[in-house]
Amino acid sequence: MAEILKWLQSYSPGVVLLLALGAALLYIMKLIVDRSIESSLKRRSTFEEKVLTERFSLITAFSSRFQKVMTNLNRVRSGHPVPDGFMKQNEIVPLTEIFEDLSVHRLVLGEEFHGLFLKQAQLMLRAANVSSKEDWNAISQEWGLTWEGIRREAEATFSISKIAW
């Protein structure tokens, strides 16, 4: 307000009115731009939240599916029966489905999780074809290391250990 009084002493009322209108217009434009940016950020935040939620769901679902397939591979290796439909001829049906789903959900999983899960699927494929106990043990060790990588990546992405009630 003091600024406008100074302008009135130096400039004609018409010029001061134009300056005040210009300043008001700039202020209104700033508010509009700020609100537009804020709205855009909220939409982006909501989108990111949905992607992260979907990613977490996919990671837990894939983890469960991997464990079931590996358990059944261990059963086959030990000579125990597996559920109907697990194997058709030489194909491990749930493993084929996992490879398909990894491809379909690659974008939501992100490259890091996709790569880790792809490595797990390839390990399971190798495990299905090993004959020696040494090869099985080597794959089992690599399996454990890859699971540790998945756990670390999940912690880095979701900070699950920091969630408290």
Residue-by-residue pLDDT tens, the chain, 165 positions: 677 677 677 777 887 788 778 878 888 888 777 787 777 677 778 888 899 999 999 999 999 999 999 999 999 998 999 999 999 988 999 999 999 999 999 999 999 999 999 999 999 999 999 988 999 999 999 999 999 999 999 999 999 888 887
Q: How far apart are the first and last CA of the chain?
A: 51
Exposed (0-12), middle (13-18) or buried (19+): which is 59, by Cβ within 10 Å?
A: buried
**Helix, strand or coil for residue 91?**
strand
pTM of the model: 0.74
What is the pLDDT at residue 45? 85
What amino acid occupies position 147? W
Q: Residue type for 126, please?
A: R
DSSP three-state, residue 116? helix
Strand, helix or coil for residue 132: coil
